[in-house]
């Protein structure tokens, strides 16, 4: 093992983060190679700088006018220079500040500085690289987003343990509790994804507290938990009864045996799907800044060895947008538009029961899902597409997902009438 990895592991010793690391996670480090030495030179090379692999003129990146012309408000550096491996420092700081504004419980809480990833899927994959390996188990509610299977089962050879997400119209917390009790391994990974994809459900305030309580009980019993909190659709809460903070705010300082890993990003929150900017943030009751720094170096090693760094242009654009005076008002308008669609869908579904389709509980996000009775969801999807020109997604043979986020309000009645 490289001596830098050994040093990082020593820094993390006796913490839950070290206990949970995979073999790959323990081996990861950020090399003091080209990137690190170029960063040193950027700070101190006052005469000549021949360290970084960029073409420059008068100490500024060379560029093509045919590219720069489309982005006149950004400097050449903000467009085409390499971004730091962990992301632009200003963006990371701004995102952490906004995260605390949206989650007041985090304002006095110690967490790592968010690290930039190439989208939220990439953030989940980085978390899996660090903490999941062959022989581990991950608890996932059924149904779940299909990319989790690729990330955990296919890439990391982790055994998936499913439990039903709902019991009637409520979150099936007792099923999760039973899986935690009966799991044979001491180390466990969990993914909590709310608002949920594909059902569009967020726990109520009471359910969120109950989730925290059973995880606390599990940690007290000796389980060592890496909890990945997938906040891809964070903020799109349409009912006053929903828990409107991230579960990261409840779990990040809950117990020494729980490592909370928040993955989020601008993808859905800031309507920037193609910019591919996500973040990964850590918190645990026992961790201090030195521990977070060590974890950051390990994530940087994973980034350096896979994509090197994320898009500088995307980060620059997002950083500017987050600090734009119009940002809050524009997000509020988008929220109102999506809530209007949700309310229209909710009214139609509640007032028009269908014998062969039952809507699973939904109150947030982009989606709702129908349980299919006496009909195959894939056959229904194909028929809707081929015969009626309607696109939906079959999650399984018995579950059909509808993304009402992509339906204009005036088209919602017609869509559901044909469905």
Query: Measured between alpha carbons, how far is 220 from 342 in angstroms, rounded to an integer?
Result: 40
Residue given tokens 């043979």 in the structure block: 397
Of 288, 322, 356, the last residue of a domain is 322
Q: What is the pLDDT of residue 77?
A: 92
Query: Measured between alpha carbons, how far is 249 from 272 in angstroms, rounded to an integer?
Result: 25
Does 46 fall in a domain? no
Kindly state whether residues 316 and 376 are assigned to the same domain. no
What percent of the chain shows pLDDT beyond 90? 88
Task: Report, as ranges of residue numbers, the positions in the chain whose pLDDT lies below 50.
Answer: none
Tell me if 265 sits within 8 A of 119, measured CB to CB.
Answer: yes
| CATH number of the domain residue 346 falls in | 3.90.1150.10
- Domain of 209 in residue numbering reads as 11-15+85-322
Q: What is the pLDDT of residue 51?
A: 63
Q: How many residues are listed for the chain in this entry?
A: 419
Q: What is the pLDDT of residue 242?
A: 98
- Write out the two tokens for 303: 């980034």
Kindly state whether residues 285 and 346 are assigned to the same domain. no
Kindly state whether residues 203 and 311 are assigned to the same domain. yes
Of 256, 288, 322, the last residue of a domain is 322
Query: Measured between alpha carbons, how far is 127 from 215 in angstroms, rounded to an integer?
Result: 19
Q: What is the pLDDT of residue 90?
A: 98
Tell me if 209 sits within 8 A of 173, measured CB to CB.
Answer: no
Kindly state whether residues 310 and 336 are assigned to the same domain. no
Q: What is the pLDDT of residue 59?
A: 78
Does 313 fall in a domain? yes
β-strands 137-142, 159-164 pairing: parallel
Kindly state whether residues 96 and 219 are assigned to the same domain. yes
Of 261, 290, 322, the last residue of a domain is 322
Give the residue among 320, 237, 239, 224 at the shortest CA–CA distance from 272. 320
Q: What is the pLDDT of residue 56?
A: 73
Q: What is the 3-state secondary structure (H, E, C) of 374-417?
A: CCCHHHHHHHHHHHHCCCCEEEECCEEEEEHHHCCHHHHHHHHH
Class of residue 374 by CB neighbours under 10 A (exposed 0-12, middle 13-18, buried 19+)? exposed
Q: What is the pLDDT of residue 57?
A: 76
pLDDT, tens digit (0-9, with 9 covering 90-100), for 235-271:
999 999 999 999 999 999 999 999 999 999 999 999 9
Q: How many domains does the chain have?
A: 2
């Amino acid at each position: 093992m490289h001596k830098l990895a050994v040093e990082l592991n020593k820094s993390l010793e006796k913490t839950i983060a070290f206990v949970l690391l995979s073999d790959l996670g323990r081996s990861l480090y950020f090399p003091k190679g080209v990137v690190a030495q170029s960063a040193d030179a950027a700070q101190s090379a006052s005469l000549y700088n021949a360290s970084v692999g960029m073409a420059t003129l008068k100490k500024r990146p060379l560029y093509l006018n045919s590219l720069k012309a489309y982005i006149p408000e950004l400097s050449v550096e903000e467009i085409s220079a390499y971004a730091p491996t962990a992301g632009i420092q200003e963006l990371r700081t701004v995102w952490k500040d906004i995260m605390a504004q949206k989650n007041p419980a985090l304002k006095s809480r110690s967490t790592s500085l968010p690290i930039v990833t190439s989208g939220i899927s990439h953030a989940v994959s980085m978390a899996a690289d660090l903490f999941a390996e062959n022989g581990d188990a991950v608890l996932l509610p059924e149904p779940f987003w299909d990319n989790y299977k690729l990330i955990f089962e296919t890439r990391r050879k982790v055994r998936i343990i499913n439990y039903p997400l709902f019991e009637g119209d409520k979150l099936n917390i007792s099923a999760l509790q039973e899986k935690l009790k009966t799991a044979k391994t001491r180390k466990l990974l969990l993914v909590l994804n709310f608002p949920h994809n594909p059902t569009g459900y967020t726990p109520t305030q009471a359910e969120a507290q109950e989730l925290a309580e059973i995880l606390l009980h599990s940690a007290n019993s000796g389980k060592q938990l890496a909890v990945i909190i997938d906040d891809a659709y964070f903020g799109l809460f349409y009912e006053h009864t929903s828990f409107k903070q991230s579960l990261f705010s409840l779990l990040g300082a809950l117990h020494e045996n729980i490592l909370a890993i928040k993955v989020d990003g601008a993808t859905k929150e800031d309507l920037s799907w193609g910019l591919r900017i996500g973040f990964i943030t850590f918190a645990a009751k026992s961790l201090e800044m030195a521990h977070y720094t060590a974890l950051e170096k390990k994530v940087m090693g994973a980034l350096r060895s896979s994509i090197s760094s994320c898009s500088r242009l995307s980060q620059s654009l997002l950083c500017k947008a987050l600090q734009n005076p119009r940002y809050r008002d524009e997000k509020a308008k988008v929220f109102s538009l999506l809530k209007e669609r949700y309310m229209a869908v909710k009214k139609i579904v509640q007032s028009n029961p269908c014998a062969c389709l039952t809507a699973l509980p939904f109150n947030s996000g982009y989606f709702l899902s129908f349980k299919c009775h006496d009909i195959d969801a894939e056959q229904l999807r194909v028929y809707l597409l081929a015969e009626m020109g309607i696109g939906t997604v079959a999650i399984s043979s018995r579950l059909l997902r509808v993304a009402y986020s992509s339906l204009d309000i005036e088209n919602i009645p017609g869509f559901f009438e044909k469905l």
